């Protein structure tokens, strides 16, 4: 058995060299799931609460709590916006989910989403210097069905405690109404990361993939497989940024979207899908096999694979084709298979393959930017600004077909992204306060550096323990035994 470092950076090398590409991809998925199970049990979650104020002496509790804190309460009563300065509200995000569509696993019950929501909070802190709280809620009504109104009511009730809300893993069609109502009715940003976050990073990746392929976004034919919150929002941002909707075709489980889909037209809950029907696929192409012939781009966020997207479909695409297969936890087609069939750039949502097009490089910087200027909402323009910020950052440090977007290890990308988002919020007129780009960049950088230093200090001093060495090896042995 080969030794495997705790950084997991040499993961491919840990498996037998006799493994085929398919066996290796399967083994890595099994390994990561098993290791995640063991690591979560060992640490009992990923987030804890740590004070940010000192305890210099026992009497300081009279300052941090009663009677001294009464002054803070009355100040906030007289000016609610002062809560952003006098409490942690200005840097605090609620990660809200009813856990009805958790990754590729569907409805996991409310508490089943806690692992993902804690993970979201973990990344916000380490990558964006933002504090976050996981709030998984039961959205079922008396009839036993998930009710979007319950989520809307909950978020409206808790918004006085937070600077922003990150919606996550809410099934369609409820996700559309929840986001659109809350974006307009709340006084803080309400952001659906599965929709806007995924759309932002997908656009960033496509910008650079098209540069490498020598193609223009307005000229390319784009096929989109899956018509959930992510792809419908991706379509909207792509069109806003220059894509031609007449050259786009989207598919759901019943076929292609077009103006003749009366089933979608007659169901008002799917109004976002109907918008896509009206704007795209004017020739009413019906099958994905036909749509893929000569297509430049495939963006698929649908059912986990690995054989959802057929090799023959990739083979029929245009030269220098671009494939984003982003279902989790297993892409609709493995990167090696798409490459073997002629794809020029292949991206997935996973970090153990090249080109991770995942919202993890989007939401930490975007939310940080929105919080720094106390934005009232996150506009599509802010998401597009973040996409171009990510793409520009990657291009400046160098891109190639296997490296089109920054990754989570590139710490300096996040303050740049946050600053660009903050400037766009000011430009869009949704910011409560105005700051310069330099000030925004420096504040974001300082907060991110602090979060990373805090984590490192906790690790160095033993307050966060290293995982047991045999945890990784046992998960590796298990994965190999299952292939």
| Active site positions, annotated | 65, 120
| DSSP three-state, residue 463 | coil
Would you say 142 and 468 are in contact if contact means Cβ atoms under 8 Å apart? Answer: no
- Residue whose structure tokens are 């036909």: 290
Question: For residues 322 and 300, what is the distance between their CA atoms, to the nearest angstrom?
Answer: 11
Considering only CA atoms, which of 411, 366, 37, 431 is closest in space to residue 195? Answer: 366
SS3 249: strand
As a whole number of angstroms, the distance between CA 422 and CA 428 comes to 10
Question: To which H or E segment does residue 336 belong?
Answer: helix 335-340
With CA atoms as reference, report the closest residue to 26 among 405, 458, 481.
Answer: 481
- Would you call 203 exposed, middle or buried from its count of C-beta atoms within 10 A (0-12, 13-18, 19+)? buried
**Which residues fall within 8 angstroms of residue 35, CB to CB, at 6 or more apart?**
471, 472, 475
Between CA 362 and CA 204 the distance in angstroms is: 10
Assigned token pair, 342? 């002629």
Cα dist. 399→147, 286, 416 in Å?
44, 36, 18
Name the token pair of 61.
């509790």
Question: Residue 348: which of 402, 387, 311, 397 has the closest Cα?
Answer: 402
């Amino acid at each position: 058995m080969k030794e495997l470092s705790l950084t997991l950076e040499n993961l491919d090398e840990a498996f037998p060299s006799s493994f085929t590409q398919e066996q290796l991809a399967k083994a890595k998925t099994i390994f990561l799931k098993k290791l995640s199970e063991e690591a979560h049990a060992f640490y009992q979650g990923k987030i804890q609460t740590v004070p940010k104020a000192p305890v210099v002496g026992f009497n300081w509790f009279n300052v941090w709590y009663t009677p001294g804190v009464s002054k803070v309460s009355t100040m906030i009563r007289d000016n609610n916006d002062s809560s952003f300065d006098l409490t942690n509200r200005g840097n605090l995000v609620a990660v809200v989910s009813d856990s009805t569509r958790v990754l590729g696993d569907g409805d996991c019950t409310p508490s089943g989403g806690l692992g993902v929501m804690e993970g979201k909070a973990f990344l916000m802190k380490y990558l964006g210097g933002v504090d976050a709280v996981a709030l998984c809620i039961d959205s079922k009504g008396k009839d036993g069905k998930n009710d979007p109104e319950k989520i809307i009511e909950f978020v409206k009730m808790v918004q006085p405690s937070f600077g922003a809300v990150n919606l996550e893993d809410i099934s369609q069609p409820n996700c559309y109404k929840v986001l659109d109502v809350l974006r307009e009715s709340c006084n803080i940003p309400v952001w659906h990361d599965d929709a806007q976050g995924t759309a932002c990073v997908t656009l960033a990746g496509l910008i650079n993939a098209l540069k490498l392929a020598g193609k223009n976004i307005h000229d390319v034919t784009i096929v989109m497989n899956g018509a959930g919150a992510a792809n419908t929002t991706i379509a909207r941002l792509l069109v806003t940024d220059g894509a031609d909707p007449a050259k786009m075709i989207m598919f759901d489980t019943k076929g292609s979207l077009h103006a003749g889909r009366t089933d979608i037209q007659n169901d008002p809950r799917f109004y976002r899908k109907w918008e896509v029907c009206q704007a795209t696929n004017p020739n009413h192409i019906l099958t994905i096999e036909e749509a893929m012939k000569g297509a430049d781009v495939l963006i698929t966020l649908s059912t986990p694979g690995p054989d959802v997207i057929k090799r023959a479909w990739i083979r029929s695409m245009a030269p220098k084709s671009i494939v984003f297969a982003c279902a989790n936890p297993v892409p609709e087609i493995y990167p090696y298979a798409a490459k073997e069939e002629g794809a020029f750039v292949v991206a997935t949502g996973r970090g153990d393959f090249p080109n991770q097009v995942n919202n993890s490089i989007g939401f930490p910087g975007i939310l940080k930017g929105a919080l720094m200027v106390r934005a009232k909402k996150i506009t599509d323009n802010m998401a597009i600004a973040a996409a171009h910020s990510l793409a520009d950052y990657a291009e400046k440090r160098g891109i190639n077909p296997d490296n089109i977007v920054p990754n989570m290890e590139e710490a300096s990308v996040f303050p740049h992204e946050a600053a660009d988002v903050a400037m766009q919020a000011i430009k869009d007129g949704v910011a409560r306060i105005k700051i310069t780009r330099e000030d925004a960049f420096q504040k974001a950088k300082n907060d991110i550096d602090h979060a990373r230093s805090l984590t490192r200090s906790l690790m160095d001093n033993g307050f966060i323990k290293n995982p047991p060495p045999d945890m990784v090896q046992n998960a590796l042995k298990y994965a190999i035994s299952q292939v």
